[in-house]
């Protein structure tokens, strides 16, 4: 039975039902610990050459904007999605120049970010392009509407709703978002010619608007009606390139679906369902990418405003909202 159409869409706020799961969280960065305890000192930056200073300033600026967003979205430094971004920034800085990483105190920077947000004077100039791809009917367009908190793109419970690539813009939590919705890919081997046509159009849009975040969307509750998505995933690889998979976050919609019965006859624990489903999608992606070590972030999404089970999702996914990505 197809899903009933949504009556209203949830606003992307603190109570949002969109949850993130930190499957690939790297080593956690403790406040200040990995960066040394002192704030940036003039004398130390003086030792840097021009290129080092430029990198140091750029990373600091990105980090400050990010920390302001973390504070604005009510997230904490301990959440793994946050720690992951900070870790990558530290890597970007550290691998290029070991001097700069010693100069940074995360606690001090977070206090500054808090103050800037509370003063509300300087607006951050932060924009983000999101590409959404995946099988037809999994809820790509509905997820986009959930992100914006309004019906920006058409959805359909019974037939493919998105027939061409469509770019939608808006501001969410002060961040300028550009979201690229794409026509749903077809699972069958016979339909890969259609997929090629869609993906060649997606490629053109990716050139024009290089995405910062890519969501590969699938359903959380597809176990019983799962189709083999490998032909579709391989079409993505051959049309968009293997490297796309290194930037993909997996979004599983219908996240509050009731778990099916396990071997004992009672419903599987919700955590087991999430883990099975995440692993299944991850393994297909690994096969399509030809890299069995690939680890993609998994985000749980429930677009239905009145769906149950969000508490279970919250328990299982301590990272919080999709806004934390
Ligand atoms: N219960 C529930 N229904 C959802 C969820 N996400 C999407 N739906 C429903 O699934 C149906 C298909 O959603 P769409 O957003 O049109 O799917 P799509 O992936 O954009 O489909 P194409 O445009 O064909 O690629 C709609 O009826 C949505 O209301 C969800 O998280 N929970
Ligand atoms: Mg759609």
pLDDT score of 262: 83
Residue 319 pLDDT more than 80?
Answer: no
pLDDT band of 124, cuts 50, 70, 90: confident
Which ligand has the shortest distance to the CA of 138?
1
The pLDDT of 15-37, averaged and rounded, is 31
- Percent share of the chain, pLDDT over 70: 75
In the reported structure, the alpha carbon of residue 165 is separated from the centroid of ligand 1 by a whole-number distance in angstroms of: 16
Residue to mutate (ligand 1; options 303, 310, 322; most atoms within 8 A of CB): 303
Residue 142 CB–ligand 1 contact under 6 Å:
yes
Burial of 151 (0-12, 13-18, 19+ CB in 10 A): middle
pLDDT band of 164, cuts 50, 70, 90: very high
In the reported structure, the alpha carbon of residue 130 is separated from the centroid of ligand 2 by a whole-number distance in angstroms of: 14
pLDDT band of 284, cuts 50, 70, 90: very high
pLDDT band of 43, cuts 50, 70, 90: low
Residue 145 pLDDT more than 70?
Answer: yes
CA distances from 173 to 13, 110, 233, 296 (A): 9, 18, 33, 25
For 18-55, b where at least 16 C-beta lie within 10 A, e where not — what string? Answer: bbbbbbebeebbebbebbeeeeeeeeeeeebeeebeeb
The pLDDT of 80-101, averaged and rounded, is 75
pLDDT score of 48: 75
Between 31 and 56, where is the model more confident? 56
pTM for this structure? 0.79
Residue 135 CB–ligand 1 contact under 6 Å:
no
pLDDT band of 223, cuts 50, 70, 90: low
The pLDDT of 104-126, averaged and rounded, is 86
The pLDDT of 76-90, averaged and rounded, is 88
Most confident of 78-92, 143-157, 253-267, 296-310: 143-157
Rounded CA-CA distance 154/198 in Å is: 17
Residue 100 CB–ligand 1 contact under 6 Å:
no
The pLDDT of 121-127, averaged and rounded, is 81
Rounded CA-CA distance 284/288 in Å is: 6
Q: Where are the alpha helices (DSSP H) in the chain?
A: 42-46, 50-72, 80-96, 98-101, 106-119, 140-148, 192-208, 230-240, 270-289, 310-316
pLDDT score of 307: 66
pLDDT score of 42: 52
pLDDT score of 36: 34
Between 30 and 308, where is the model more confident? 308
pLDDT band of 122, cuts 50, 70, 90: confident
């Amino acid at each position: 039975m197809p899903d009933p159409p949504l009556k209203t869409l949830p606003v992307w706020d603190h109570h949002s039902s969109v949850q993130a799961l930190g499957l690939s969280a790297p080593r956690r960065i403790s406040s200040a610990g990995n960066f040394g305890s002192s704030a940036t000192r003039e004398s130390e930056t003086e030792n840097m050459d021009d290129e080092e200073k430029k990198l140091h300033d750029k990373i600091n600026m990105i980090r400050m904007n990010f920390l302001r967003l973390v504070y604005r979205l009510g997230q904490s430094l301990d959440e793994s999605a946050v720690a992951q971004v900070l870790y990558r920034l530290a890597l970007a800085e550290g691998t290029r120049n070991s001097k700069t990483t010693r100069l940074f105190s995360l606690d001090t920077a977070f206090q500054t970010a808090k103050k800037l947000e509370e003063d509300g004077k300087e607006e951050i100039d932060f924009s983000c392009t999101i590409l959404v791809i995946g099988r037809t009917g999994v809820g790509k367009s509905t997820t986009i509407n959930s992100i914006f908190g309004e019906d920006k793109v058409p959805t359909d419970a019974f037939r493919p709703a998105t027939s061409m690539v469509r770019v939608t813009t808006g501001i969410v939590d002060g961040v300028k978002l550009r979201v690229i919705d794409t026509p749903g890919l077809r699972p069958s081997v016979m339909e890969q010619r259609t997929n090629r046509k869609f993906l060649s159009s997606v490629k053109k849009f990716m050139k024009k608007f290089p995405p910062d975040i890519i969501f590969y969307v699938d359903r959380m509750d597809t176990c019983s009606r799962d189709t083999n998505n490998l032909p579709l995933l391989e079409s993505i690889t051959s049309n968009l390139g293997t490297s796309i998979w290194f930037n993909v976050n997996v979004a599983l919609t219908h996240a509050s679906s009731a778990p099916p019965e396990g071997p004992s006859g009672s419903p599987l624990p919700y955590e087991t369902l999430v883990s099975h489903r995440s692993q299944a999608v991850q393994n297909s992606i690994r096969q399509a990418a030809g890299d069995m070590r690939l680890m993609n972030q998994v985000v749980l999404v429930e677009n239905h405003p009145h769906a149950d089970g969000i508490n279970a999702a919250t328990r299982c996914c301590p990272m919080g909202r999709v806004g934390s990505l």
